[in-house]
Structures are given as structure tokens and as C-alpha cells.
Amino acid sequence: MSNKAEWQLHDPYVYGMLAKQIGTTIGVQTTRGALRGILKAVQPDHLVVEMGGTPFYVRSQQIIWVHPAKVHQAKAQQVKQKN
């Protein structure tokens, strides 16, 4: 029995696209429901979406789709100032 853990990047194009979206507001549909918030981090196996100041960790394999979310201009300015 080996103690080596095998790891594999399942969706490299999705990972690459999301890595370019850090700091923006996104919508994410998962197998358990939808999230909308600021994309804070992207890792090969999960991403972090912040909603109301709380980070939510979403497993990459649970994601069905992702889209850039439209935000009001004033809200977008607030987000940019915080980052």
C-alpha cells in the first residue's frame, strides 16, 4: 500500500479562466446550490468566494458553471477600493 496521493487538474481551462477573474464578482452554480460573491482565490482543487465578508470554499469538482456577475457601478467601485 502506497502513501503517495495522486492529484490531477480536472478542468485546466476553467482553472485558467478563473485565475484571471480573482477580485471580480462571479456567480457559481454547484451541485448543492448557487453562490454569488467576490472571487478571492483559485486553487486547482477549490476556489474561494466571499459573500458578506464570509469566505466559502467550493470544490472544483462540484462546480457546474461560472459566470461574471453584473454589479451596480457604485458597488463595483467599493469592491475595487477594498482590494
**33 falls within a domain:** yes
The domain of 44 spans 12-78
**36 falls within a domain:** yes
**56 falls within a domain:** yes
**72 falls within a domain:** yes
Q: What is the pLDDT of residue 57?
A: 97
Contact 25, 79 (CB under 8 A): yes
Q: How far, CA to CA in Å, does 25 sit from each of 5, 46, 52, 55?
A: 33, 17, 12, 13
Give the domain CATH number at 43: 2.30.30.100
Instruction: Specify the number of domains making up the chain.
Output: 1
**42 falls within a domain:** yes
Q: Tens digits of per-residue pLDDT, 21-78? A: 999 999 999 999 999 999 999 998 999 999 999 999 999 989 999 999 886 555 556 6
